[in-house]
């Protein structure tokens, strides 16, 4: 006998990874969207009249985010102005193709689109950067530049907020990585649904509690147009291990992902641990928690033909500083951190600390 949907009388066609419920397609869509709506309302993510940029890569997470936010904005009359904001890193054979997907999404969802490129902002494409730095620290450059590029694009568009498609699996991975690195100070921030709320440009993660498997299911059953190829420069290292570990845990206990996020939220940060305070870079004027932002440090390294500046071990950075080869202070010499970038971008953070 066919299994019936747990919410209506129709035939169930899937088992929700998050709850194990058997559901029909329509009830799954409804449950998925309502959970995102509840997250938005509970965390008070938006106010009527806000202009919100959706960081759009053409991948499944940001495509489903754009579709869901548009749906909820209409269903619940959030009164948001939504804009797609894409970053072109200049990766031939990857980003050029995924941007074609974003351009189709723009037509399909009837949302404005702005594309901002590394080439126009920094004078370098990722293809150029990989030629110079190789495949070891490329994601450090890419992640730092992407983060700033999104900020710069959002400021150009005068938006009130940026939303990104980071999902529960991404956040659980970041929690595990911060624990493995002993970076407890960052735990609270990496689990926060909104960061930078006190600065000029808050960033929100409406998919904080949304499982990746359900995003894939939603995209599949809705027949959304998204790009699923991996970046050709993806190193698949450190984050990859955290990902495999969490997938193993999830197979035994599906709630592991949410449990890890809750643990990260609850872990106490010692009083004496100072969290970075958001200010602006004295060189480029964009958001930074250091006097000179990481993007400026990395860019100077590239332009001087010394691409390892800013990604080295603290004592080596100090030596270079003493030699006058770098200009930044080293209050926080681990320039490699980039908590919120794509999966690959954090993947080799550990490796990035080595010259």
Binding site for ligand SF4 (CB under 6 A): 89, 126, 138-139, 142-143, 231, 233-234, 341-342, 344-345
Q: Which is nearer to ligand SF4, 143 or 333 (CB)?
A: 143
Which one of ligand SF4, Zn ion, none interacts with residue 281, CB within 5 to 8 A by kind?
Answer: Zn ion
Three-class SS of residue 294?
helix
Provide the 10 A C-beta neighbour count for residue 170: 24
Which one of Zn ion, ligand SF4, none interacts with residue 342, CB within 5 to 8 A by kind?
Answer: ligand SF4
Q: Which is nearer to ligand SF4, 210 or 345 (CB)?
A: 345
Least Å distance between CB 135 and ligand SF4?
Answer: 9
Cβ 185 vs Cβ 197: under 8 Å: no
Q: Which is nearer to ligand SF4, 67 or 233 (CB)?
A: 233
Alpha carbon 126 to its chain's center:
18
Residue nearest to ligand SF4 (CB): 344
Which one of ligand SF4, Zn ion, none interacts with residue 15, CB within 5 to 8 A by kind?
Answer: none
Q: Are strands 194-195 and 81-88 parallel, antiparallel or unpaired?
A: unpaired
Q: Which residues are annotated as a binding site for ATP?
A: 55-57, 61, 87, 165, 170
Least Å distance between CB 325 and Zn ion?
Answer: 18
Which one of Zn ion, ligand SF4, none interacts with residue 283, CB within 5 to 8 A by kind?
Answer: Zn ion
Is 262 one of the binding residues for Zn ion (CB under 5 A)? no
Q: Which is nearer to ligand SF4, 35 or 89 (CB)?
A: 89
Residue 273, φ and ψ in degrees, nearest 5: -80, 120
Residues between 275 and 334 with contacts to Zn ion, criterion CB under 5 A = 281, 283-284, 293, 296
Which one of ligand SF4, Zn ion, none interacts with residue 296, CB within 5 to 8 A by kind?
Answer: Zn ion
Q: Which is nearer to Zn ion, 29 or 327 (CB)?
A: 327
Q: Can you tell me the distance from the alpha carbon of 199 to that of 195, in angstroms, rounded to the nearest whole number?
A: 9
Is 155 one of the binding residues for Zn ion (CB under 5 A)? no
Three-class SS of residue 267?
coil
Residue 204, φ and ψ in degrees, nearest 5: -125, 155
Beta strands, E only, the chain: 14-15, 22-23, 51-55, 81-88, 113-117, 161-163, 194-195, 203-204, 279-280, 287-288
Q: Which is nearer to ligand SF4, 98 or 210 (CB)?
A: 98
What number of helices (H) and strands (E) belong to the chain? 15, 10
Identify the CA nearest to 152 among candidates 55, 29, 20, 15: 55
Binding site for Zn ion (CB under 5 A): 281, 283-284, 293, 296
């Amino acid at each position: 006998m066919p299994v019936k949907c747990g919410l209506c009388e129709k035939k169930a066609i899937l088992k929700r990874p998050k709850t194990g419920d058997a559901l029909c397609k329509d009830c799954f869509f409804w449950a998925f969207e309502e959970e995102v709506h509840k997250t938005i309302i509970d965390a008070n993510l938006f106010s009527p009249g806000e202009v919100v940029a959706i960081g759009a890569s053409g991948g499944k997470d940001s495509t489903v985010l754009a579709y869901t936010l548009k749906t909820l904005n209409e269903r619940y009359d959030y009164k948001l102005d939504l804009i797609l904001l894409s970053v072109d890193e200049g990766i031939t054979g990857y980003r050029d193709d995924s941007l074609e997907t974003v351009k189709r999404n723009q037509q399909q969802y009837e949302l404005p689109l702005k594309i901002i490129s590394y080439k126009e902002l920094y004078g370098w494409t990722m293809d150029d950067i990989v030629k110079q730095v190789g495949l070891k620290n490329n994601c450090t450059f890419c992640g730092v530049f992407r983060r700033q590029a999104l900020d710069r694009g959002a400021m150009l568009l005068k938006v009130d907020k940026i939303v990104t498609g980071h999902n529960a699996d991404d956040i659980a991975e970041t929690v595990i990585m911060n624990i493995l690195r002993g970076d407890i100070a960052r735990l609270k921030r990496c689990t926060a649904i909104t960061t930078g709320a006190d600065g000029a440009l808050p960033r929100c993660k409406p998919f904080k509690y949304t499982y990746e498997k359900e995003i894939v299911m939603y995209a599949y059953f809705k027949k959304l147009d998204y790009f699923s190829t991996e970046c050709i420069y993806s190193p698949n290292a450190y984050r990859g291990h955290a990902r495999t570990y969490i997938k193993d845990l999830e197979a035994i206990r599906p709630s592991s992902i949410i449990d890890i996020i809750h643990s990260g939220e609850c872990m106490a940060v010692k009083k004496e641990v100072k969290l970075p305070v958001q200010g602006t870079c004295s060189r480029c004027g964009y958001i930074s928690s250091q006097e000179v932002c990481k993007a400026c440090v990395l860019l100077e390294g590239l332009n001087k033909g010394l691409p390892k500046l800013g990604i080295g071990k603290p004592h080596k950075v100090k030596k270079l500083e003493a030699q006058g080869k770098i200009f930044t202070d080293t209050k926080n010499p681990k320039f490699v951190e980039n908590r919120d970038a794509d999966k690959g971008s954090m993947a080799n953070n550990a490796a990035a600390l080595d010259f």
